[in-house]
Structure 1
Amino acid sequence: MSNKYVVIDLETTGNSPKKGDKIIQFAAVVIQNGCVIEEYSSLVYPEQPIPAFIEELTGLSDEMVKDSPLFADIAPKVVKLLKDAYFVAHNVLFDLTFLQEELIMAGFEGFHGPVLDTVEMARILMPGSDSFTLSDLAVQEGLSHDRPHQADSDAYVTGELLLILFKRLHRLPLATIRQLHKLSYSLKSDLDEILAEIMLQKQKSLEELPDQLEQFRGITLKKEQRNISRDGEKEMIYPAGDRDKEMLLKKVFPFYEKRSGQFRMMDLVHDTFQQEHHSMIEAGTGVGKSIAYLFPALIEAVRSRKPVVISTFTTQLQEQLLTKDIPLLQKMVEFPFHTVLLKGKNHYISLEKFERTLREPENNYDTALTKMQLLVWLTETSTGDRDELHLSSGGQMYWNKVKHDVTDQMTNHAWSSREFYNRMKRDAQSAHLIITNHSFLLSDLIAERGILPEFDCLIIDEGHHFEKTSRKFLGQKLDYAHVRYFLQHMGLYEQKQMAYRMVQTMEKFCIEAEAGTQYAAWNKIMADLSFEMDELFKVVSFIVKKHIKNKHNGWVNCRLDNRQTRELNMLTAAAERFLFLLKEYNKAMSDWYEMMQQKGGKQNEKLNMLLSELVSWMNEGEKIMQSIREILLQPLGEHVHWIEMDTRAMQNKTTIYAQPVSVSSQLNKLVFQKKKSVVVTSATMTVKGNFTYMLNELGLEPSQVYLEQITSPFRYDKQVQFVISNDLPEVNSVSLAEYAAAIGEHIISIAEATKGRMLILFTSYEMLRKTYELLKESGFLHEYTMLAQGITSGSRTRLTRNFLRFEKAILLGTNSFWEGIDIPGEDLSCLIMVRLPFSPPDEPHTEAKCLEVKEKGGNPFYDYSLPEAVIRFKQGFGRLIRTSTDKGLMVVFDRRVISTRYGKAFLDSIPSVKAQEMNIDQLTDLIKRWL
């Protein structure tokens, strides 16, 4: 590019020049014709102290800048550098705003030329990046960035990143550049002229698309890949001896050390398939269970010429198997095999919807940016899976418009054969291994949708989640935000949503009279629907308010099964009114559909696309009606019904649920009786070495399944110090505030001894929030980076990544942090468990389940509540030691683990470690010696 680009980076005393914050370092890198032609950097005296956290972040101190020039002294140089140039920065509005203020204060006019934001450009041109911070992008692109948060280093790396982004831009096909150019006027960056220049260059010669790409209806996307043929594949001989297995694994791991547990599990899985029975295998951390079941699964797939299905709990675990373990498995065998990853419909982009929205004029920033991301992504993706993308919250809202819905019609439109979801279904037919998740597996087995090809062998990984996932899937929910979105999407005519488009289409096909009549009737239905929906959820809010009596500030739940007759009558009446109007809505939609189909003609493509969308929304209306019937009007027997609400937002965050109390009999019939061989595996399925709890949850008799526990190869007795605090109050003997204050003092002492590197697990968000606030208010941990789930912004993945980034970090988590995060080595040296992880006795499902156990003659506590808590305890314990070289400290604040008769169940269910009782002084002394 012949343009001149000046890449700027500033280090400052704070975030707001309006509040008096100042520049402490300025750096610029000048790029022209694809090369760095000049570099300039200077420290700047800010005429104010540098805050401690800025000094820690940048490494710049008052001493270092005290003899540096004022900004006014370097301002002429800055102005000269920026003349006739693009202003480039990573998050350009921050640097530009700061620089403008300083230039004006120095007596200069300020910068008024074009700007480029490399964050924005990276979002568009690297849509699959995990993070768009400069440091993370530098690692991703292999750029040397040894002094982050120092302006000269940051500016140079940003310049290198800009050149990489330009190369990516030039490689894009002409059709994609055209679409990007149309959308570029909504950006912060002045990309329009650069895109126009690239278009002109590309139009000068006939473009030849790479073999893997195709252009269809103005959109360039990756072609469907040909499947690996299964013709001529040879049956493999299973390596029965340990020596044979060891040689096989050394192909992948040159320094592989024999793991007898892994070999044993391989044999168990292989025997399960050969003998056509079921197995339940608990494999401790470090056994290497993924390879232990994948290898015999592949052998079985080749032998039977049918796929083996592997089901995991989350889509993240699916990705981990595909990207980490399957490549290792491929190195172990001498032939190419085919693995397909299958997820639910809503994970995949609908190309038909995307094309439709591309035609709509765009002036919303988030939507324009996301459209640009998707255009670039379509030239790269083979799956069309949203999990490959890193979208903003605004981008996620747009994705919701262009993703596939369960109700989407998948045939009879121009894009059908190219839709990624259809590609995945075709791909699965020739797969050796199919990796899916519990929700997708259940939907296919229960609804008998036939998306999965015929299979006999199934592996259920993370099997301790299978029962809970099944309950969710077999249940119903009615969510205020979802119903509101549904109604808003249809909208009044004046709101120019679906109703407007339908009326416009009817008028286009000369059905003006009908259009006018329908339009008036429609507006009344939608206005009434909106009113009655709010009335229904007002009744729901009333019931919850009466239940909680204003004692809670946050998420609460309230069982409907236990409500008084008057309250239920109010709820039923409101639900019946809303249901009646939904029926009227669907009748009106059906009338519109028939009218447009009859008079519009079948050959009009735009009309067919609209009709297809109309059917989807009619189906969505049917689903909402079904939820109302099954939850509120004709509640199913042996189900638990409850309301969940955030009291800080009330109606906006309200969901009504119905779930079966038990799914054990359904799982037995749907899964274990229908499949020849099922392997259920997890690191946490036993209580004191016993599988009874998990067998009951999954509906299995001991005679139906082979059971084995394979212990971890780690030396926990050498790698872990396990401490129970003996100077804290009993959990249930004091108030929440008193307990939070007591554990807060302990956390401060432990953090100072461990220098951070600490994960604290809570069972209650309220307790987490209170503890976090007390720790922040104390000021004792001001040198530490404190991250708290639900308080610090970001997903679990982002919080974990930030925890790894800072040396003195403390992470407070609940729920999802009890499992599924992997922090090996010294990054995690201390794990604190605040309370034993019992579910609250008034939690709706727990309450109903305990009643069911009691009615069947069992003991609700020992047969359900305790085993469930022990499984979670084991999951939490498993966060600490992830490799054979790790060592760490586990601290349990809840004395019930030793002060009660049942506490022994927790200690007897984890690997053998010595439990030590200590006060805080003894504990900090141990930490200093141990770590």
Structure 2
Amino acid sequence: MSLPHPALHASHSGIWIADAAGTRAIGRGEAIRLAADTPVILLNAPLVGQRLGYAELSGLDLLELFAFIHPARFAVPTPAGLARAVDLSPPDGDEDVAAFLLEAAAALLAVPAGNWPEREGAWASAQALFRMRWPWGPAVVERVAKPARDERWLFSRLPEWEEAPPRPAPRTVTLLPDEAEERLTRLTGAGAEIRPGQRAFAAAAAEAFGPRSVRDAPNMVLAEAGTGIGKTLGYLAPASLWAERAGGPVWISTFTKALQRQLSQETERLFPDAAERRVRVVTRKGRENYLCLLNLEDALQGGFAGRAAVLAQLVARWAAYTADGDMVGGDLPGWLPTLFRRNGPAALTDRRGECVYAGCPHYRKCFIERAARAGAQADIVIANHALVMVNAARGRELNTRPTRYVFDEGHHLHDAADAMFGTALSGAESIELRRWLLGPEAGGRGRRRGLAARLSDVASYDEAGARAIADAVDAARALPSDGWLGRLAEGQPFGPVEALLAAARGLTYARAEQPGDAGYGLETELAEPTPALIDAAQPAAAALDALVRPLNGLARRLEALLAEAPDWLDAQARARVEGAIASIGWRAETVAAWLALLARVGGPVDPDFVDWLAVDRVEGREYDVGLHRRWLDPTRPLAEVVLKPAHGVLVTSATLRGGGTGDGDWTQAEARSGAHHLVRAPQRFAAASPFDYAAHAEVLIVTDVKKGDIAELSGAYARLIAAAGGGTLGLFTAIRRLRAVHARLADRLARDGLPLHAQHVDPIDTGTLVDIFRDDPHASLLGTDALRDGVDVPGHSLRLVVMEGVPWPKPGVLHAARRLVGGGSTYDDRIVRARLAQAFGRLIRRADDRGLFVLLSAATPSRLLSAFPDGTPIARVTLDEAVARVSARLSPSAPLAIPGSLGHGAHAGETLGELP
């Protein structure tokens, strides 16, 4: 099947066009002219446009066609990944890709003529996309036949969730360690390898599921399980056993979406039957992750225009086939939203907290409500740290609050609590509150409505409630409005809160800006405020007080309404009012926290908090200004809100003690998990990794790459990646340096058949970048913190980790305060050791993995080297030596045994002797 369009492929190694006459290489200028004049078939238009330097590139993107033909299926968005997805042979090289794109287009367009499982709804979507002038529209309409009978459209096709009776409280049961080990044996299989560390871990984890004996004193277990122990099945064994016997849910919380997906896959061992597993295991995320059906309906009915409207149609196709409606990390391909404008995907979820709950016509089909109800009946709920804390602090599901938690990736609990319980009175936060209260202003489009519109029926019933709504809406006009950043820059703020932000901005620039700064964020302590800031704080506080009072009054009136139960308050209306109470309470708490922060301006210091002023910038462009407050110890609210109400808590990680060993590090593990705020001391367990690091890994500290020299840094990365033949994860502490290195290397490496991808450069989401990296053993990936902690790439695809330097914490007001009370340089060392341990942990993921870890920093202190597992060979070498070692160790036939290792504590100038 031929198409009357050429195919265009652009990579860092060249540009090719393919049509009926064959394939030929072309220049960038010709490619841009061709793409501007002629519809071209391509793969990932934003990425191709970036490589051409033509941001407005559009055409017939095969990823969009794949999303239409196969909704809720994933394909790695590369030529090789697409070839597997459509059952074709992958192209041999870059010069063959353009011709392959023509072949792939024909294969996808041929699917509707055969046995097509995703046929339902396709004809109606194709017609709508054709009217929107979707580039694939004519070809798709021609090939998708009209159904013989009317199809059920999306909103009638989706199943309704069902109400279930309240779940009884969990029964009191005691798990014995040998029972947990027996369940583990069943999960791993009778013939599986016996792993003593995993069995010991399961037995220790069982302690967290015993009955609590003292109020506010949960049975807490801190368990460090080295990589390869098999901790997931180790805690699933006692967790599933307790859920089965006690009849209650266990919430397993992670920090990354990647681990949530892995956990969901591991539960197949618990419940091999897919239907049973859907009932017994539920994945929960925050509301902002799920598709909002009301927002989607608005988009389909004209709320979106242009490319965003095309996205809405493709998402509607997906919604009919998705397992759970999760748009972020679920079965919606992560690359699909990145093909469109950024505001399109966000507008399809409930990011603004405007849900009307039972007032929504799609309430009974809502993905969010379905997940909440399924989670209430499940045995295992796979959640994340942020959701656990939000639900505990202000969740509506009070009657289904879990009593047993497992916090995997527990080393992130401190950071998650820090973000959750912090306060920011900023322009971005306050304008969102204004929009939530007032709705669209100045001709805004879409279905968004203000508080008065959402509660119009309440206002008509209750006079006091109506007054409270009117007062809150009136007070909201004192908050920043559209254009506030420009007015601040011009020195013409409007309203008391904008005046406060203007004063904060002026003081931050006065105290924090340095000559020659790179145009990134500025911050300064909220200490010794100027008279201008003090004078601005009082009217701002008065304006916020005028807002929080009617919000609190409205919440009380709504609670009274539930108690009065008028005739019109049926079950759905009650649910809607309960949802409104929760939303209003959340906003009222936020404003109250802002008021407490403003009381600090010119007032006494609160030793429990760290307060500062900040101007957020990217490359000199301001995007927010605000006053910030964080707990000096964020595990205090974590302990009060989450830990103390629980009966049992297991906190586990491969680096729970921050990459160190010894009893002293348990003190820090307890401090960063909140255990030291509990009256009952936690149980401790540690199991070292079973991997043979002495034989399979090596740490090289390069001593002759000049710090701050981008040319030398780029050259080092280029030589190391080439020596390894790809398979390299490059980690940076600054986005600016990452971009500079990528710009120097991408073309050079691509010419040698070594693709280079980069976070913050490629217009692709991080999860998809990792998928691309995992899929191609010749590819390399550059990134920052998210890749240091969130990459799981076992096997040959990741065989070299290169860090640009020691990952010292960023100096800032908050860090300085915590450093002061945490031991000064000792506090910094703990952070760095934890980061090094996490980065090294990306390298060896299974017993047959092998690889090298290279740190491009001559000034690495020996005291930090305890971050690496015991027995790991460590050497300080020149770049030439490092390149030679990488080449020798990582070739398929090379042995990785390291003779003459110095072990921990190698000093500058020491090396390992000659290569064998």
In 2: Cα distance, 1:904 partner to 1:688 partner: 13
Q: Kindly report which structure 2 residues correspond to 1:334-349, keeping only aligned pairs within 5 A, or say none.
A: 338-349=280-291
In 1: Cα distance, 2:304 partner to 2:790 partner: 40
Q: Hey, what does 1:860 align to over in structure 2?
A: 824
In 1: Cα distance, 2:117 partner to 2:274 partner: 39
User: Deviation digits for residues 507-557 of structure 1, max 9, x if unmatched?
Assistant: 9xxx9xx9xxx9xx9899589845446555444443333212353224324
Q: Could you tell me whether the CA contact under 8 Å between 2:8 and 2:41 is conserved in 1?
A: no
Q: Hey, what does 2:85 align to over in structure 1?
A: 140
- Aligned CA distance change for structure 1 residues 11 and 237 (closer, same or farther; 3 Å): same
Q: Of 808, 820, 835, which aligns to 1:851?
A: 820
Deviates further, 789-798 or 779-788: 779-788
In 1: Cα distance, 2:877 partner to 2:585 partner: 61
Q: Hey, what does 1:641 align to over in structure 2?
A: 611
Q: Which amino acid aligns with 2:769?
A: L
Q: CA shift at 1:437, angstroms?
A: 1.0
User: Deviation digits for residues 261-308 of structure 1, max 9, x if unmatched?
Assistant: 111111111244247532111111111111111121101111111111
Q: Which amino acid aligns with 1:288?
A: G
Q: Hey, what does 1:288 align to over in structure 2?
A: 230
Q: Could you tell me whether the CA contact under 8 Å between 1:181 and 1:196 is conserved in 2?
A: no
Q: Kindly report which structure 2 residues correspond to 1:111-126, keeping only aligned pairs within 5 A, or say none.
A: 118-126=62-70
1:679 correspondence with 2:672:
no
Q: Could you tell me whether the CA contact under 8 Å between 1:134 and 1:158 is conserved in 2?
A: no
Q: Which amino acid aligns with 1:668?
A: A
Deviates further, 285-294 or 327-336: 327-336
- Aligned CA distance change for structure 1 residues 91 and 616 (closer, same or farther; 3 Å): farther
Q: Hey, what does 2:893 align to over in structure 1?
A: none
Q: Which amino acid aligns with 1:884?
A: A
- Aligned CA distance change for structure 1 residues 557 and 587 (closer, same or farther; 3 Å): same
Q: CA shift at 1:803, angstroms?
A: 3.4
What do you get for the CA RMSD once the two structures are aligned? 5.1
1:871 correspondence with 2:834:
yes
Q: Could you tell me whether the CA contact under 8 Å between 1:540 and 1:571 is conserved in 2?
A: no
Deviates further, 236-245 or 906-915: 236-245
Q: Is the partner of 2:347 in helix, strand or coil?
A: helix
Q: Which amino acid aligns with 1:569?
A: I
- Aligned CA distance change for structure 1 residues 614 and 835 (closer, same or farther; 3 Å): same
Q: Which amino acid aligns with 2:19?
A: F
Q: Hey, what does 1:812 align to over in structure 2?
A: 782
Q: Is the partner of 1:386 in helix, strand or coil?
A: coil
- Aligned CA distance change for structure 1 residues 838 and 266 (closer, same or farther; 3 Å): same
Q: Hey, what does 1:109 align to over in structure 2?
A: none
1:258 correspondence with 2:194:
yes
Q: Hey, what does 1:7 align to over in structure 2?
A: 3
1:551 correspondence with 2:520:
no
Q: Which amino acid aligns with 1:128?
A: A
Q: Which amino acid aligns with 1:889?
A: L
Q: Could you tell me whether the CA contact under 8 Å between 2:394 and 2:586 is conserved in 1?
A: no
Q: CA shift at 1:136, angstroms?
A: 2.8
Q: CA shift at 1:722, angstroms?
A: 1.8
Q: Hey, what does 2:131 align to over in structure 1?
A: 185
TM-score by length of 1: 0.74
In 2: Cα distance, 1:92 partner to 1:781 partner: 18
Q: CA shift at 1:432, angstroms?
A: 1.1
Deviates further, 366-375 or 140-149: 140-149
Q: Hey, what does 1:222 align to over in structure 2?
A: 159
Q: Is the partner of 1:925 in helix, strand or coil?
A: helix
User: Deviation digits for residues 114-166 of structure 1, max 9, x if unmatched?
Assistant: x9764433334444344555543442354444557445543233222122256
Q: Could you tell me whether the CA contact under 8 Å between 1:541 and 1:650 is conserved in 2?
A: no
Q: Could you tell me whether the CA contact under 8 Å between 2:758 and 2:782 is conserved in 1?
A: yes
In 1: Cα distance, 2:383 partner to 2:16 partner: 52
Q: Of 692, 697, 701, which aligns to 1:724?
A: 701
- Aligned CA distance change for structure 1 residues 880 and 116 (closer, same or farther; 3 Å): closer
- Aligned CA distance change for structure 1 residues 293 and 535 (closer, same or farther; 3 Å): same
- Aligned CA distance change for structure 1 residues 673 and 355 (closer, same or farther; 3 Å): same
Q: Is the partner of 2:865 in helix, strand or coil?
A: helix
In 1: Cα distance, 2:528 partner to 2:785 partner: 28
In 2: Cα distance, 1:183 partner to 1:614 partner: 37
Q: Kindly report which structure 2 residues correspond to 1:804-843, keeping only aligned pairs within 5 A, or say none.
A: 804=774, 808-840=778-810, 842-843=811-812
Q: Is the partner of 1:429 in helix, strand or coil?
A: helix
In 2: Cα distance, 1:504 partner to 1:704 partner: 51
- Aligned CA distance change for structure 1 residues 544 and 13 (closer, same or farther; 3 Å): same
Q: Hey, what does 1:688 align to over in structure 2?
A: 661
Q: Could you tell me whether the CA contact under 8 Å between 2:163 and 2:373 is conserved in 1?
A: no
- Aligned CA distance change for structure 1 residues 445 and 168 (closer, same or farther; 3 Å): farther
Q: Could you tell me whether the CA contact under 8 Å between 1:227 and 1:427 is conserved in 2?
A: no
Q: Kindly report which structure 2 residues correspond to 1:743-762, keeping only aligned pairs within 5 A, or say none.
A: 743-762=713-732
Q: Hey, what does 1:434 align to over in structure 2?
A: 381
In 1: Cα distance, 2:109 partner to 2:596 partner: 56
Q: Could you tell me whether the CA contact under 8 Å between 2:777 and 2:798 is conserved in 1?
A: no
In 1: Cα distance, 2:275 partner to 2:362 partner: 37
In 2: Cα distance, 1:169 partner to 1:370 partner: 22
Q: Is the partner of 2:835 in helix, strand or coil?
A: helix
User: Deviation digits for residues 636-663 of structure 1, max 9, x if unmatched?
Assistant: 6522233251153544244543211103
Q: Kindly report which structure 2 residues correspond to 1:893-904, keeping only aligned pairs within 5 A, or say none.
A: 893-897=856-860, 900=861, 903-904=862-863
Q: Is the partner of 1:746 in helix, strand or coil?
A: helix
1:914 correspondence with 2:914:
no
In 1: Cα distance, 2:580 partner to 2:181 partner: 62
| Unaligned segments of structure 1, at least 5 residues | 28-41, 55-70, 72-81, 98-114, 210-214, 594-600, 854-858
- Aligned CA distance change for structure 1 residues 715 and 185 (closer, same or farther; 3 Å): same
Q: Hey, what does 1:926 align to over in structure 2?
A: 885
Deviates further, 865-874 or 534-543: 534-543
Q: Which amino acid aligns with 2:67?
A: R
Q: CA shift at 1:877, angstroms?
A: 0.8
Q: Could you tell me whether the CA contact under 8 Å between 2:123 and 2:146 is conserved in 1?
A: no
- Aligned CA distance change for structure 1 residues 310 and 219 (closer, same or farther; 3 Å): same
- Aligned CA distance change for structure 1 residues 761 and 194 (closer, same or farther; 3 Å): closer
Q: Could you tell me whether the CA contact under 8 Å between 1:222 and 1:381 is conserved in 2?
A: no
Q: Could you tell me whether the CA contact under 8 Å between 1:354 and 1:402 is conserved in 2?
A: yes
In 1: Cα distance, 2:646 partner to 2:552 partner: 42
Q: Kindly report which structure 2 residues correspond to 1:446-525, keeping only aligned pairs within 5 A, or say none.
A: 446-447=393-394, 449-450=396-397, 453-481=400-428, 483-484=430-431, 490-495=439-444, 525=477
Q: Which amino acid aligns with 2:320?
A: T
In 2: Cα distance, 1:665 partner to 1:624 partner: 18
Task: Give the greater-gyration-radius structure (CA).
Answer: 1
Q: Hey, what does 1:43 align to over in structure 2?
A: 22
Q: Kindly report which structure 2 residues correspond to 1:783-822, keeping only aligned pairs within 5 A, or say none.
A: 783=752, 784-804=754-774, 808-822=778-792
Q: Is the partner of 1:328 in helix, strand or coil?
A: coil
- Aligned CA distance change for structure 1 residues 609 and 265 (closer, same or farther; 3 Å): closer
User: Deviation digits for residues 588-618 of structure 1, max 9, x if unmatched?
Assistant: 999xx9xxxxxxx989xxx999999999997
Q: Could you tell me whether the CA contact under 8 Å between 1:744 and 1:774 is conserved in 2?
A: yes
Q: Hey, what does 1:443 align to over in structure 2?
A: 390
Q: Is the partner of 1:128 in helix, strand or coil?
A: coil
Q: Which amino acid aligns with 2:239?
A: A
Q: Hey, what does 1:420 align to over in structure 2?
A: 367
Q: Which amino acid aligns with 1:885?
A: D
In 1: Cα distance, 2:666 partner to 2:188 partner: 34
Q: Which amino acid aligns with 1:722?
A: V
Select the structure with the greater relative contact order (CA < 8 A; seq sep ≥ 6).
2
Q: Is the partner of 1:545 in helix, strand or coil?
A: helix
In 2: Cα distance, 1:230 partner to 1:167 partner: 47
Q: Could you tell me whether the CA contact under 8 Å between 2:43 and 2:101 is conserved in 1?
A: no
Q: Hey, what does 1:74 align to over in structure 2?
A: none
- Aligned CA distance change for structure 1 residues 680 and 383 (closer, same or farther; 3 Å): same
1:248 correspondence with 2:211:
no
Q: Hey, what does 1:321 align to over in structure 2?
A: 263
Q: Kindly report which structure 2 residues correspond to 1:47-62, keeping only aligned pairs within 5 A, or say none.
A: none
Q: CA shift at 1:746, angstroms?
A: 3.1
Q: Could you tell me whether the CA contact under 8 Å between 1:789 and 1:813 is conserved in 2?
A: yes
Q: Hey, what does 2:148 align to over in structure 1?
A: 202
Q: Could you tell me whether the CA contact under 8 Å between 1:183 and 1:362 is conserved in 2?
A: no
Q: Could you tell me whether the CA contact under 8 Å between 1:311 and 1:460 is conserved in 2?
A: yes
